[in-house]
Amino acid sequence: MTCVTRFAPSPTGPLHLGHAFSAFIAHDMARASGGRFLLRIEDIDTTRSRPQWDTQILDDLAWLGLTWDGPVMRQTDRLDAYRAALDTLWQQGLLYPCTCTRRDIATALSAPQEGADPPMGPDGVIYPGTCRDLSPRTGPIPTEAALRLDLGAALHHPRYTFTETGTPANGTPRTMTRSADVLLSQVGDIVLSRKDFLGSYHLSVILDDAAQQITHVTRGEDLFDATWIHVVLQVLLSLPTPTYHHHRLVRDETGKRLAKRDDARSLATYRSEGRTPDDIRHLAGLAPSSL
């Protein structure tokens, strides 16, 4: 099987060392196996994405010496696909509109369990289900509210699995399994379409990975829990589940993971200081490129 990987940055800030690491992992895995490395700009969140960062990302990747195959995919060109998938899930009665604010959710959660921290899922606190049964799930798909997945109704299997692989150099693939009961309590009803834009990270990422025929998704281990959402959605929408490789996160000297706002470690800063792409590989803890 040809290995197809992707790098999927969001144009919401400058690329930093952590992004470079992630891009190198995906690129090197594809190239080492004679496969394909694709680029996707995850600009679905139009409230935070900026064309300036999109341009800068392409420029930084070219500077790193990374070449990608085929055209760049942009999520803002894919709204029809997201709408079609939302329609499918709505027709199946699996979505419901939710108008809760963060504050509404916090209030609903604080009432029964005074003092205790509310359980956290991949998207933050687990939604208490306030809007789940408030409106009929018939007629045209609601567009004026966020849409949540009724996870209890969506979990059709007793357990869900995906394959976690190491890099080609190290690692036997492992089957990861989680039961529907555990997913229900650890994930909850996640948002699949936001009020301010059509779709969500979770919905678009699985549709895009399928459309780009990605066989190996490489990304940070911070997204490990989100992968369960993706597996559930792939099953619901009859899409293949790729193999996943969740890589370590690049941290600063104090052990803190790098963030977008960490301008000091942006690639642009390293470039302006005269560092080379091999310096970046080294700083990210990778061996010099042999490809």
* Residues forming the site for ligand GLU (CB under 6 A): 8-10, 42, 205, 219, 223
Identify the H or E element spanning 62: helix 51-64
Angle between helices 51-64 and 17-32 in degrees, nearest 10: 50
DSSP designation for 234? H
Contact 56, 268 (CB under 8 A): yes
Identify the H or E element spanning 262: none
Q: Could you say whether residue 130 binds Zn ion (CB under 5 A)?
A: yes
Identify the H or E element spanning 37: strand 36-41
Q: Shortest approach of Zn ion to residue 154 CB, angstroms?
A: 17
Three-state SS at 174: strand
Q: Could you say whether residue 100 binds Zn ion (CB under 5 A)?
A: yes
Q: Looking at beta carbons only, is 57 or 100 nearer to ligand GLU?
A: 57
Which residues contact residue 286 at a Cβ distance below 8 angstroms, ignoring those fewer than 6 apart? 21, 24
Q: What share of the chain is helix, strand, coil (3-state, %, to 5)?
A: 35, 20, 45
Q: Could you say whether residue 131 binds Zn ion (CB under 5 A)?
A: yes
Q: Looking at beta carbons only, is 11 or 188 nearer to ligand GLU?
A: 11
Residue 10's binding partner, choosing from ligand GLU, Zn ion, none, with beta-carbon cut-off 5 to 8 A by kind? ligand GLU
Q: Shortest approach of Zn ion to residue 134 CB, angstroms?
A: 8
Q: Shortest approach of ligand GLU to residue 8 CB, angstroms?
A: 4
Sign for the CA dihedral angle at 179, 91, 126, 232 comes to positive
Q: Could you say whether residue 192 binds Zn ion (CB under 5 A)?
A: no
Please give the Cα distance from 148 to 131 (Å, whole number). Answer: 9
Q: How many CB atoms lie within 10 A of CB 103?
A: 8
Name residue 173's amino acid: P
Q: Shortest approach of Zn ion to residue 260 CB, angstroms?
A: 29
Q: Shortest approach of ligand GLU to residue 217 CB, angstroms?
A: 6
Please give the Cα distance from 180 to 232 (Å, whole number). Answer: 9
Q: Looking at beta carbons only, is 76 or 135 nearer to Zn ion?
A: 135
Stretch of 91-99, 206-214, 217-225, 244-252 lying at the interface with Zn ion (CB under 5 A): 91-99
Stretch of 80-88, 100-108, 197-205, 228-236 lying at the interface with Zn ion (CB under 5 A): 100-108
Q: Shortest approach of ligand GLU to residue 7 CB, angstroms?
A: 8
Q: Looking at beta carbons only, is 216 or 219 nearer to ligand GLU?
A: 219
Residue 98's binding partner, choosing from ligand GLU, Zn ion, none, with beta-carbon cut-off 5 to 8 A by kind? Zn ion
Q: What does the binding site for Zn ion look like in residue numbers (CB under 5 A)?
A: 98, 100, 130-131
